[in-house]
Structure 1
Amino acid sequence: MAYLGIIDLGSNSARMVIEDLHPDGSYTEILREKTDTRIAQNMGSSLVLQPEPMRRTIAVLKEFKARLDQYGPLATKAITTAAVRTAKNQTEFLDLVRQEVDIEFEVLTGTQEAHYDYLGVMATLSDIQNGVILDTGGASVELIGFKNRQEQHEISLPFGAVNLSEKYQLADDVKQVNVEAACASINQQYQELKWLDNFKNDSVILLGGANRSLARVARAFNGERQINNIHGFTMSRALVEQLFDQIRQTNRVGREKIAGLEKSRADIIISGLLPLLNLMKAIDAPQVIFSESGVREGIIAERVCKLDD
């Protein structure tokens, strides 16, 4: 057996998977864990990782390391993304992780993160020919445009569910003027991506925690019993907008009670859906398609290809 352990430290959560890679190129998931660490919390414009988010993140990484060690010697790839990528105290944090947890993290560039997203989607959604992949994280979004399943454009933009919520006060009693200010900022950055014009009327393929929450809310709204079965799930633009309006008009306490929505995301779900809403308008997307496969599955796909070479 060839085990591969992957730790993905994002801006909002830390995830770990262990996969058993088979000689035929397939793989079996042995373990999957996820904990909200929100390392991007209160970074603000200073772009400094704060002591408490670092402390709780390291505590979770120690738990992950203990689980990995139970499987004996195995190949491990640890990656981290936007929050650590932009942090002015990145080196100090990664040195602390190395000392306390004995894990060496690779800091992905935005382009690398986007490319792994693309590989993960292509490996698991075989029927989609054209579209724009949107991965909404805590401190960044990745956009990947593809035609005939070939990657044409990829970019990472410096806004996400956590930093939008903090910057525009979108957590509790949300004011429309703040929503509009956040949308104006997002749209300004989208307008600079002239290549988006080549994807008019194409679908948006969705990754990221906020988008997965939207899928579960929609499945609960539709009366589905298996609300976590979201890979390949399709929603119309009209339903996306309808559900967002309902979420937007509910206060934080009410959001915590919405079927399908994780309680821990109640303060960042509005901000987390704004990149999607504005992208749908920008390219006049008729629908969205949800993917459970992203960076981690892209890493596995890359590793399997190397084993085949």
Structure 2
Amino acid sequence: MTVIAVVDLGSNSVRMTVSRYHRDGSYEVLARFQEMARLSEGMGSNKVLQPEAIARTMVVLNKFKQALSIYQVNNLEVYAVATAAVRQASNQEEFLAAFKETMGFDLRVLTGEEEAHFDYVGVINTLPINDALILDTGGASSEIILVRNQQAVHAVSLPVGAVNISEAYLGKNNILASELFEAIVALRQLFGDIAWLHESKNMPVIALGGSNRTLAKISRKKEKIQDMAVHGYHLNIREVASIYGDILKKDLDGRKKMPGLAKERGDIIVGGLLPLVELLLFTEGQQVIFSQSGLREGVLFEQISSNTGHDVVSPEPAAMTMDAEDLP
């Protein structure tokens, strides 16, 4: 029995999943931790990680490090990966040095293609899909993967996400129609440059990422579903449009008060959901299926397979999710 922790240092959130796996490839999730550190905030056109954002991130990482200490008695393996913010950063080396000083081990910076690959592995092992379009909307990038016959046939990483769309185009309080239109045009141009995206017409979209999962949480609150688990939850295009319309009608204070929407996500939720909404319209998609599994699970599954020689043999059970401020 070995305990494995996967740290996902995203552009908006820092997350960690701790799991226990066995020689036959079976596993169970022990705990999940997450906190929004918004590492990509204020990077600007020069792509510089800001001191305040780095400091916030290091505070969260220190808490994660403390949380890992209780697992040191076991065979503990830790894998840490970073996505768009660190990938794009002009001061990447400085950040990597700060990470190693804080955590005591190296951080692996994923390419956009690697990020898309791990998203695919996480989804295909936990949802019964055959043909679909996977969308992972992060803070500073969005990964799109075309799946046919359960195989990833095309993938792309776009440099747009919840934080940088919001900073580049949208106001924080009321969203103006002119601002939203500019953001829509920019996304449509990016989608139009992906030749193979036209092959995904009418396919269901598998939605990953905090902003997309927030859409599912808002829906579940609206339907008075007590359990907030979103893995495998479905919405049709009309339901997506209705909820997004409700969000657009509200100012920042109103968005922060919406059931299912975390207050700290209120200023970026419009930009965060825009890639999903526009992708559905662009591909004439009619259905969204939400996935809790993605990058971290993809890393986990590949490590289990590599270390045991077995494919993952058990579905992922529910596990607790903690905010970093609740850590010991």
Question: TM-score with structure 2 length normalisation?
Answer: 0.92
Shift of 1:98: 1.2
**Separation of aligned partners in 2, 1:17 and 1:277:** 28
User: Aligned letter for 1:240?
Assistant: V
CA contact (8 A) 2:6 2:17 kept: yes
- Equivalent residues of 1:132, 1:144 under 8 A apart: yes
Instruction: Indicate conservation of the 8 Å contact 1:133/1:144, yes or no.
Output: yes
Shift in Å, 1:242: 0.8
Give the aligned partner of residue 107 of structure 2: 105
TM-superposed deviation, 1:120: 0.3
Q: Secondary structure at the match of 1:146?
A: strand
Amino acid at match of 1:26: S
Paired amino acid for 1:141: S
Runs (4 or more) in structure 1 with deviation over 2 Å come to none
> 2:136–2:208: 8 Å Cα contact kept in structure 1?
yes
Aligned to 2:120: 118
Indicate yes or no: 2:42 matched with 1:42: yes
AA of the residue aligned to 2:305: C
Q: 2:89 aligns with which of 72, 83, 87?
A: 87
Q: State the TM-score, normalized to the length of structure 1.
A: 0.97
**Preserved CA contact (<8 Å) 2:61 2:102:** no
The CA distance in 1 between the partners of 2:69 and 2:108, in whole Å, is 19
Q: Gaps spanning 5+ residues in structure 2: where?
A: 310-328
The answer (yes or no) to whether the contact 1:170–1:270 under 8 Å persists in 2 is: no
Once the two structures are overlaid, the 10-residue window that deviates more, 297-306 or 149-158, is 297-306
Question: Could you tell me how far 1:307 is from its partner in structure 2?
Answer: 2.8
Aligned length: 307
Q: Who is 1:151 aligned against?
A: 152
Equivalent position amino acid for 1:144 in 2: I
Instruction: State the partner residue of 1:216.
Output: 217
- Where do residues 243-254 of structure 1 align in structure 2 (5 Å cutoff)? 243-254=243-254
Q: Please give the per-residue CA displacement for 1:118-152, whole angstroms capped at 9, x wherever unaligned.
A: 000001002x1111000000000000001110110
Of structures 1 and 2, the one with the larger relative CO (CA 8 A, separation 6+) is 2
> Does residue 192 of structure 1 match 2:193?
yes
**How does 1:68-79 map onto structure 2 within 5 Å?**
68-72=68-72, 73-79=75-81
- Between the aligned partners of 1:170 and 1:210, the Cα distance in structure 2 is 17
One-letter amino acid of the structure 2 residue matched with residue 184 of structure 1: V
Q: Check the 8 A contact 1:120/1:298 in 2, yes or no.
A: yes
Whole-angstrom distance in 1 between the partners of 2:187 and 2:40:
19
Secondary structure of the corresponding residue to residue 38 of structure 2: coil
1:124 alignment partner, SS class: coil
Per-residue deviation at 1:196?
Answer: 1.0
User: Which residue in the other structure is 1:275 paired with?
Assistant: 275
| Aligned counterparts, 1:8-87, within 5 A | 8-72=8-72, 73-87=75-89
Deviation at 1:206, TM superposition (A): 0.3
Say whether the 8 Å CA contact 1:129–1:148 is kept in structure 2. yes
The SS at the match of 2:59 is: helix
Q: Deviations 1:12-32 (Å, cap 9, x if unpaired)? A: 010111110122212111121
SS in 2 for 1:16: strand
Unaligned runs of at least 5 residues, structure 1: none
> In the aligned structure 1, how far is the partner of 2:173 from the partner of 2:104?
38
* Partner of residue 313, structure 2: none
Alpha-carbon separation, structure 2, partners of 1:23 and 1:103: 25
Letter in 1 for 2:220: R
- Say which SS state the counterpart of residue 272 (structure 2) adopts: helix
Give the aligned residue type for 1:190.
F
SS in 1 for 2:113: helix
For the 8 Å contact 1:164–1:170, the answer to whether it is kept is no
Partner amino acid, structure 2, of 1:294: G
Question: Could you tell me which residue of structure 2 aligns to residue 261 of structure 1?
Answer: 261
Secondary structure at 1:79 match in 2: strand
- The 2-side partners of 1:100 and 1:196 are apart by 41
Matched residue, 1:164: 165
**Residue by residue, what CA displacement relative to the aligned partner does 1:159-178 show, whole Å, maximum 9, x if unpaired?**
00000101112421211100
Task: Write the deviation string for residues 188-220 of structure 1: whole angstroms up to 9, x where unpaired.
Answer: 000011111111110000000000000000111
Any idea what SS the aligned residue of 2:8 has?
strand
